[in-house]
């Protein structure tokens, strides 16, 4: 049961989830700021949440082998945070992308 006081609510309001495209753009900017060289980026929502915000997993191909590394990202208030900076963001295996369109981009 949720009890509300005068004019308030104990339930936090969730803002609209940012698009995968906007998260991907912020993530690519993050990679460039870190001066990381990559071949491609593919991002998809994985259905998980962190602190009420949706997580978008971006797989980054860093090399010719290929060397693909997963980054789970949370985008809130114009700021992107990854599981590489905050290990509390869950980024275990998931099957996201098998039935969802994947957006890709080359550097």
Domain boundaries, the chain: 20-106
* Tens-digit pLDDT profile for residues 23-49: 999 999 999 999 999 999 999 998 899
pLDDT at 32: 97
CB half-sphere exposure, 84, CA atoms < 13 A = 12
Structure tokens at 5: 């006081």
- In this structure, what token pair is assigned to residue 59? 């797989």
The pLDDT tens digits for 83-101 are 999 999 999 877 665 555 5
Alpha carbons within 13 angstroms on the beta-carbon side of residue 56 total 25
Nearest of 86, 95, 105 to residue 46 by alpha carbon: 95
């Amino acid at each position: 049961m949720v009890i509300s006081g005068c004019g308030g609510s104990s339930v936090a309001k969730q803002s609209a989830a940012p698009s995968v495209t906007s998260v991907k753009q912020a993530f690519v900017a993050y990679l460039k700021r870190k001066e990381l060289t990559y071949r491609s980026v593919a991002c998809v929502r994985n259905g998980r949440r962190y602190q009420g915000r949706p997580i978008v997993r971006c797989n980054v191909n860093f090399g010719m082998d290929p060397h693909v590394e997963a980054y789970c990202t949370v985008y809130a208030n114009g700021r992107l945070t990854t599981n590489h900076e905050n290990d509390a963001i869950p980024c275990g295996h998931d099957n996201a992308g098998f039935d969802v369109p994947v957006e890709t981009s080359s550097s």
